[in-house]
Structure 1
Amino acid sequence: MEEDSLEKKPVIGTKTMVVSPHYLASAAGARMLQKGGNAFDAAVAVSATLAVVYPHMTGLGGDSFWLSYSAAEGKVRAYNGSGRSGYAVRRSCYAGEEAIPRRGVRSAITVPGMVDSWDAMLRQYGRLSLAEVLEPAIGYAEGGFPLSPDQHIHTRLFGHALSPEAAAIYMPGGVVPVSGGKFVQQQLAATLCTLAAGGRDVFYKGEIGARICDYMQASGGYLTREDFADHQGSWSDPIHTDYHGLAVYQAPPNSQGFAGLMSLNILESFDFGQIEHGSYEYYHLLVEALKLSFRDRDQVLTDPDFSRIPLERLLDKGYARQLASTLSLDRAAGLVSEPMGRDTAYAAVVDEEGNSVSFIQSLYFEFGSGAVAGDTGILLQNRGSFFSLDPGHINTLEPHKRTFHTLMPAMACRDGRPVYLYGTQGGEGQPQTQTLLLTRMLHYGMNPQAAVDQPRFVWGRTWGEPTQELKLESRVDADVLAGLAAAGHLVRQVDSYDGIVGHAHAIAVDDNGYRSGGTDPRCDGAAIGW
């Protein structure tokens, strides 16, 4: 197989575009557009379908973050669909333990926020009902779908972390399902039907929430019906920075999105017109700028209701120039990355009117906590396991608190209208890949598919212990790899299209209004537009 054989051609539409990490989810979004729905309807359909066809990455038991642009309003808004820890969840629950367990019901300590976000999107901007946009997801859960290669691989690698209830669904008979085989989720289908009939409140104040919480209480978990009933996501203004004529938007904290903006501000001090794409200088500058933003992020990021986050200083252009002046062009800084989850699903939609949605959702680890809530078919996220048990840590566990969140959808606008929607799977890798994508599209004129296809890197993000390792795909030029190693980067070569760098997708809108979409060759996605 030739190294470039996985590269795709961009999909270009004159009116619409949908990108996601699974072709059936992209098709679900396209179906909503064809039946008269808008980008918001399509986005919820994509999100719900991913919860069925990509269950190792996302689901009803997880969180989501959204950036939305309404053509009628002419502005970008953010929706925080992340959940808070339970009222009874406190550090004393884990007395004598060094950390919150990474798996099992005791790792599922934050209320799932994604279903609430679906309601918020549809209620504020949608044209279709929740029942209508859930139709594709229900159909695939009930009637089955071809199991993706990605799900097969992750089940083989992480099936050992599944509870008996979860294993009965994802490894029936104790066997890893084959790629391409028919995969059915009858319990999840029934839950989705209940949700379609009863709406948001049946999840948070009704039957579904009650069944989840009854399971939690019976299994030694901590979430209660009160925790679910009190959950509410929130609309807000996004945070942004100006970068070479673009207004680049991110979700505000508890999202790590500001780290991506900080990196762009630092890079603004360098002339990309004089930097060859794919060169030592290109990779070194991006890595070093990202390291500096991560250093500040790790000191301040948590739930802003519990601790003030100095965004004015962090996003100040003068501060960025100060950081840029400390960046060495020939030596790698000796900073360290803390490990964090990477398993996520990013997607985006642009419709004929210009309405645009950039969103991302996750269970945190592969299959989340590994626990399915009774007979609901819902895998519970383990996002709350990222809380610290150290009372002096900025992200220490406290009741009714949102944790440091890696999810960060991106949108860039020119003259008040979206021109780039982009994002990726991958915890610590999200700001890194986003910076790669934007610089490639903006500075080097790449279409979204070319930007996604090009070799990528990820610094840090190794399970178990902090690391300085810089992983680069083997398609990076050997001389560049040698130069980076000589500069002090702890270089490790990975496969030519390695899943460790995440699954990225992007949409660009050109001066003619044409929508160009790119999806990652490392996953099972598709771009659909017309």
Structure 2
Amino acid sequence: MRDFQRPGRSPVLATNGICATSHPLAAKVAVDVLQAGGNALDAALAGAVLLGICEPQMTGIGGDCFALIKLPGQEDVIGFNGSGRAPAALSADALRARGLTEMPLHGVDAVTLPGAMDAFCRLNADHGRLSLAEVLAPAIHYAEEGVPVAPRVARDWAEDASVLQGDARRFYLLDGQAPRVGQIFRAPGQAEVLRRVARAGRAGFYEGEVAEDLVASLRALGGCHSLDDLASTQGSYTAPIATTYRGVDLLEHPPNGQGATALLMLKILSHFDLASLDPFGAPRAHLEAEAAKLAYDARNRFIADRAARLDHMLSDQTAAQLAALIDPRRAMDNPTRLSEAVHKDTVYITVVDRDRMAVSLIYSIFWGFGSGLASARFGINFQNRGAGFTLQPGHPNEAGGGKRPMHTIIPGMLAEGGRVTMPFGVMGGAYQPCGHARFVTNLRDFGLDPQAAIDAPRCFTTVEGLRIERGYAPETVAALADLGHQVLEADEPIGGAQAIHMHDTGVLEGASDPRKDGCALGY
């Protein structure tokens, strides 16, 4: 139970439908769509496209998406991979010949083809109740009329603005500066693109003048992208992967997303009695950090467009062997060396409707403002997902023409006793698998409700050290340092989460992360 004498959020309770997402306008639009007769997919798509206007540093129609969907009247979950591919002419050899040893983080070499719009069109056609024009109408309105910049968005915008180059500065800065809180951001070029998609479907984006703007802009920047690359961009349905932890099933999207990392991390943690520990004490944070080191090392070895050794990564034996490497009294220095013998910025929206269709959708351009580039005519911001490739020769995730890179964005769902109970997601780039594992252990080991599980302080181990939010007590921070962790105060909130608990009583319980500007809304 929440302490009502302290700052915090109550969960949102409703019976007909709920949306939880990172911006209140998107949540409101999603509920409006539900009340207008749309289903959860219609509402999620309407809210997601609008998020690209409300939070353009995080996402946009130049990006990718993944989704998990529970259809009404059944408990099976389907996945959809809406991630684009590298241009056919991309060559790791050519990049190495230029002296590169790793993929550039920004610039045209990092730009993969945008897959989200194809996914939105396909999902709307296959599972939506409203027309595409009705779904896109709210985003068209706000792109034209403008959105007041929210506080967290303004903070991130100012931090990320330095990556903007060329035409992107014209579209995403106001008088050469990042907009301040309350200033109005408009994207009339994107409104025109969305009007064309509303009329012509995916052809309005992947063919004709919009496609020509995208490709001509990339070619002018030195890219090898072609109209054929864009026209052939097509998503696909997938089957979720899963593991069981303390009686609850965690469902994740399969590779090229990194959801398998969250499954492995939970399997490692299942070898420890987390429930006996202080949920916000050093021993729990230490075990989580060590499990993350090992699970992420496996991710870096195996996750790719075709993860050939996924069965090995997710085997019980692998998890047990990795768990045995963890010393509860000391932080490991080099997880890659220890595990050798065993292995030989984003938005999220979730919606549930009155028929209990549930959508878990994540949508991103990767880093803040993606590649830092935009198309010259319509101002579509290009993602930098190609930075997810490696230039290591022979690696399954080596950059190559027509390949999808390893993706950080992962939608999640929980099920119990054969019934889907909770669509959820955690934003935050590489943090996401750790965030999924922490959310699940907060629920199952420590009995927190979804809002409390989201509110709770976070830490995340990185190459630089163990980043810790200010919510941890000073004595916990000191104890982690004594265990050998290089402790760093987090320079920004770690991640952001949204969830909807589908109670067996018929009540829906929405939870939304206070680290973002958004909320849960229901009716």
The normalised TM-score by structure 2 is 0.93
The question of 1:41 aligning with 2:42 is answered: yes
Relative to 1, partners in 2 of residues 1:360 and 1:6: Cα closer, same or farther, differing over 3 Å? farther
Q: C-alpha distance in 2, partners of 1:519/1:164?
A: 36
**3-state SS of 1:174 partner:** coil
- Give the corresponding residue for 2:107: 104
**3-state SS of 2:421 partner:** strand
Q: C-alpha distance in 2, partners of 1:333/1:71?
A: 46
Q: CA deviation at 1:192?
A: 1.1
Contact 1:188-1:377 at 8 Å conserved across structures: yes
Matches within 5 A, 1:63-102: 63-94=64-95, 95-98=97-100, 99-102=102-105
**3-state SS of 2:125 partner:** helix
Q: C-alpha distance in 2, partners of 1:48/1:494?
A: 30
Q: CA deviation at 1:281?
A: 2.1
Q: CA deviation at 1:440?
A: 1.2
The question of 1:521 aligning with 2:514 is answered: yes
Q: C-alpha distance in 1, partners of 2:458/2:7?
A: 14
Note the residue ranges of structure 1 that are not aligned, 5 or more in a row.
Answer: 338-342, 461-466
Contact 2:153-2:517 at 8 Å conserved across structures: no
Matches within 5 A, 1:324-473: 324-335=323-334, 343-460=345-462, 467-473=463-469
What CA deviation, in whole Å up to 9, does each residue of 1:475-505 have, x standing for no partner?
A: 212222222111111112336xx42x11222
- Opposite residue 525 of structure 1, the aligned amino acid is G
The question of 1:221 aligning with 2:217 is answered: no
Residue from 302, 305, 312 that aligns with 2:304: 302
Q: CA deviation at 1:6?
A: 5.2
- Give the corresponding residue for 2:275: 273
Note the residue ranges of structure 2 that are not aligned, 5 or more in a row.
Answer: 337-344
**3-state SS of 2:295 partner:** helix
Matches within 5 A, 1:165-244: 165-244=167-246
Contact 1:334-1:468 at 8 Å conserved across structures: no
Q: C-alpha distance in 2, partners of 1:156/1:44?
A: 27
Contact 1:447-1:508 at 8 Å conserved across structures: no
The question of 1:58 aligning with 2:68 is answered: no
- Opposite residue 32 of structure 1, the aligned amino acid is V
- Give the corresponding residue for 1:463: none
Q: CA deviation at 1:443?
A: 2.4
Contact 1:240-1:248 at 8 Å conserved across structures: yes
Contact 1:6-1:521 at 8 Å conserved across structures: no
Q: C-alpha distance in 1, partners of 2:187/2:7?
A: 31
Q: C-alpha distance in 1, partners of 2:244/2:351?
A: 23
What CA deviation, in whole Å up to 9, does each residue of 1:440-484 have, x standing for no partner?
A: 122222222111111111211xxxxxx250011122122222221
- Greater mean deviation of Cα atoms: 52-61 or 201-210: 201-210
Q: CA deviation at 1:173?
A: 2.2
**3-state SS of 1:188 partner:** helix
Matches within 5 A, 1:272-291: 272-291=274-293
- Opposite residue 331 of structure 1, the aligned amino acid is R
Contact 1:87-1:400 at 8 Å conserved across structures: yes
Q: CA deviation at 1:318?
A: 3.1
**3-state SS of 2:293 partner:** helix
Contact 2:20-2:512 at 8 Å conserved across structures: yes
- Give the corresponding residue for 1:314: 313
- Greater mean deviation of Cα atoms: 38-47 or 143-152: 143-152
**3-state SS of 1:27 partner:** helix
Q: C-alpha distance in 1, partners of 2:479/2:43?
A: 45
What CA deviation, in whole Å up to 9, does each residue of 1:155-176 have, x standing for no partner?
A: 3223222123211122132132
Q: C-alpha distance in 1, partners of 2:7/2:375?
A: 38
- Give the corresponding residue for 1:464: none
**3-state SS of 2:429 partner:** coil
Q: C-alpha distance in 1, partners of 2:173/2:378?
A: 17
* Identity among equivalent pairs (%): 37
- Opposite residue 9 of structure 1, the aligned amino acid is S
Q: C-alpha distance in 2, partners of 1:274/1:158?
A: 41
Q: C-alpha distance in 2, partners of 1:363/1:494?
A: 23
Contact 1:458-1:472 at 8 Å conserved across structures: yes
- Opposite residue 461 of structure 2, the aligned amino acid is W
Q: CA deviation at 1:261?
A: 0.4
- Opposite residue 327 of structure 2, the aligned amino acid is S
- Opposite residue 110 of structure 2, the aligned amino acid is S
The question of 1:154 aligning with 2:144 is answered: no
Contact 1:18-1:348 at 8 Å conserved across structures: yes
- Opposite residue 40 of structure 2, the aligned amino acid is A
Q: C-alpha distance in 1, partners of 2:114/2:484?
A: 42
Q: CA deviation at 1:223?
A: 1.1
Residue from 127, 135, 138 that aligns with 2:137: 135
Q: C-alpha distance in 2, partners of 1:150/1:474?
A: 17
What CA deviation, in whole Å up to 9, does each residue of 1:43-96 have, x standing for no partner?
A: 111111111111000000001111111123430111111111111111244332
The question of 1:117 aligning with 2:108 is answered: no
Q: CA deviation at 1:334?
A: 1.5
- Opposite residue 184 of structure 2, the aligned amino acid is K
Q: C-alpha distance in 1, partners of 2:297/2:177?
A: 43
Q: CA deviation at 1:245?
A: 1.9
- Opposite residue 447 of structure 1, the aligned amino acid is D
**RMSD, matched Cα:** 1.9
Residue from 473, 479, 485 that aligns with 1:477: 473
- Opposite residue 122 of structure 2, the aligned amino acid is A
Q: C-alpha distance in 2, partners of 1:91/1:313?
A: 27
**3-state SS of 1:153 partner:** helix
What CA deviation, in whole Å up to 9, does each residue of 1:173-212 have, x standing for no partner?
A: 2132221112211111111111111111221233322221
Relative to 1, partners in 2 of residues 1:487 and 1:182: Cα closer, same or farther, differing over 3 Å? same
Q: CA deviation at 1:325?
A: 2.4
- Opposite residue 509 of structure 2, the aligned amino acid is S
- Give the corresponding residue for 2:497: 504
- Greater mean deviation of Cα atoms: 262-271 or 40-49: 262-271
Contact 1:78-1:235 at 8 Å conserved across structures: yes
Q: CA deviation at 1:426?
A: 1.4
The question of 1:494 aligning with 2:490 is answered: yes
**3-state SS of 2:510 partner:** strand
Relative to 1, partners in 2 of residues 1:292 and 1:390: Cα closer, same or farther, differing over 3 Å? closer
Contact 1:336-1:468 at 8 Å conserved across structures: no
Contact 2:302-2:310 at 8 Å conserved across structures: no
- Opposite residue 446 of structure 2, the aligned amino acid is Y
- Give the corresponding residue for 1:340: none
Q: CA deviation at 1:336?
A: 6.3
Contact 2:269-2:288 at 8 Å conserved across structures: yes
- Opposite residue 159 of structure 1, the aligned amino acid is A
Contact 2:80-2:236 at 8 Å conserved across structures: yes
- Opposite residue 480 of structure 1, the aligned amino acid is T
Q: CA deviation at 1:265?
A: 1.1
Q: CA deviation at 1:5?
A: 6.0
- Give the corresponding residue for 2:341: none
